[in-house]
């Protein structure tokens, strides 16, 4: 035997309203949140960047000094070569020919090589 439930006396529209009008329990109110302080790493990045810029500038400076030294040594070598060439290239006077005994080249005794 089934028990019959008494039907509510509400009209269909009232049933729909009743269905959606149920009061839901409100959650407990949360405390106001405080914003946390955030850290920007700009200071650290600036220090690292300054160190990097310094190292790059130092590297370029050392390369420039080394380049100047190499050029200086190269210039010294070239100057020394020029000095040696100038010493070798000193024009020397040739002996005066003897006009009383003119030079006549001697013919070679081998006629086979010349084809005569």
pLDDT, one tens digit per residue, over 47-72 is 999 999 999 999 999 999 999 999 99
| Greatest C-alpha distance within the chain | 170
In a domain, 94, yes or no: no
In a domain, 78, yes or no: yes
Q: Which domain holds residue 85?
A: 64-89
**φ, ψ dihedrals at 95, nearest 5°:** -65, 145
In a domain, 35, yes or no: no
- d(Cα 25, Cα 15) in Å, to the nearest integer? 21
Tens-digit pLDDT profile for residues 10-53: 555 666 566 666 667 777 888 888 888 888 899 999 999 999 99
Going by pLDDT thresholds of 50, 70 and 90, the confidence category of residue 2 is low
In a domain, 107, yes or no: no
- d(Cα 29, Cα 45) in Å, to the nearest integer? 42
Q: What is the DSSP string of 14-38?
A: HHHHHHH-PPPPPPPPPPPPPPPP-
The total number of structural domains in the chain stands at 1
Cα angle value 31/33/34 (rounded, 5°)? 135
- d(Cα 61, Cα 55) in Å, to the nearest integer? 10
Does the pTM of the predicted model rise above 0.85? no
In a domain, 80, yes or no: yes
Res 38: pLDDT: 84
In a domain, 15, yes or no: no
In a domain, 79, yes or no: yes
- Is 72 within 8 Å of 78 (Cβ atoms)? no
């Amino acid at each position: 035997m089934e028990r019959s439930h008494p039907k509510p006396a509400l009209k269909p529209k009232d049933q729909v309203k009743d269905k959606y009008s149920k009061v839901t329990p409100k959650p407990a109110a949360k405390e106001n949140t405080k914003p946390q302080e955030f850290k920007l790493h700009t200071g650290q990045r600036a220090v690292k960047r300054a160190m990097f810029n310094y190292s790059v500038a130092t590297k370029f400076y050392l390369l420039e000094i080394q380049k100047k030294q190499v050029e200086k040594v190269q210039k010294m070598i070239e100057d020394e070569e020029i000095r040696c060439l100038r010493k070798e290239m000193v024009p020397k006077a040739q002996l005066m020919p003897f006009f009383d005994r003119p030079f006549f080249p001697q013919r070679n005794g081998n006629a086979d090589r010349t084809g005569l």
